[in-house]
Structure 1
């Protein structure tokens, strides 16, 4: 069973949208954070960014209490990058990794938590329903009818901080390793192996 730390040191990060972002929290105090826009190079940039944050705060990997990671919804490749990194770090450091979905990380009073998606769509939770992919107009109309603000955000500046905060509240719970939250099929289907072509002689 995970032992409670007097003041947990939690590293949170996310690459589920066109960004690479991370934050290090000691309890509820932000020690360091980074936010970089761009969907390319996330796999190469994530680990150096985490190293930079720890160095800036004067902390080491061994001091971490837990890891928080954004599990989506969002970009398939980006989600896989972050979740794989979190699971690998948790295994190597023998600390918990907590998956935080994008709706929880974007939740605000009076606002519909929504994540932009391609083709004028959004991922959103409406009226207590399960989160799903829907047309932006549908989510906007539902929010207006409920007297809520509809402002989907792909890359909130405080996203990693919120992920770390929530992970710090949940790391003592018995949770499964973080897993990607996919709400739609991948745009690119895997290639199918074709049978060899027979040539008549």
Structure 2
């Protein structure tokens, strides 16, 4: 990948909206905002701000890295959908990066732990293929998700180092079913 082309990375899998631009091995712009909701409305303004700050445009993006979770059901879908749409419109590859991979990038050799509801954690030991759901208190010395700027920079660097031809398409990582129940009302009648 030419050094003048950018890797755009973003993540909305938790209570935040974070994005970064990587050129070569240097983060040229990054922005992160903690937020419990509103990621869908803020993501593209943040991405446009990053491009403007770095003096680049959408066509300069050579690859996209997107956080795939685990995390908030809706947040993960926001980021993955945005990445897939951008990849189609910009004709560039997109690489999905799990929160576990972002943690292990900065803390290799440790058990990555993603906080879950009810004082639980999803954990993934180095070399393991499937995460476990365990009480957070039982995880000795957990490697937690890094600060947002470090987190999104890790997503960018992993995406830049991954061969998109061998990477699976980005897909949300859901480790448990959604907390939503199907509607009880009968579906509406479709009138021709």
Contact 2:102 2:145 in 1 (8 A): no
Unpaired segments ≥5 residues, structure 1: 196-201
Cα drift, residue 189 of structure 1: 2.0
Distance 1:160 1:39 in 2: 18
Aligned residue number for residue 101 of structure 1: 98
Aligned residue number for residue 182 of structure 2: 190
Cα drift, residue 113 of structure 1: 1.2
* Equivalent position SS for 1:65: strand
Distance 1:175 1:111 in 2: 24
Aligned residue number for residue 132 of structure 1: 132
CA root-mean-square deviation: 1.9
Pairing partner for 2:89 from 88, 92, 107: 92
Pairing partner for 1:79 from 72, 76, 81: 76
Aligned residue number for residue 176 of structure 1: 168
Cα drift, residue 7 of structure 1: 5.2
Cα drift, residue 188 of structure 1: 1.9
Cα drift, residue 177 of structure 1: 2.2
Contact 1:116 1:154 in 2 (8 A): no
Unpaired segments ≥5 residues, structure 2: 188-192
Name the TM-score, length of structure 2 as normaliser. Answer: 0.88
Q: Does 1:24 align with 2:28?
A: no
Which structure has the larger Rg over C-alpha atoms? 1
Contact 1:90 1:97 in 2 (8 A): yes
Distance 1:90 1:8 in 2: 15
Pairing partner for 1:64 from 45, 61, 66: 61
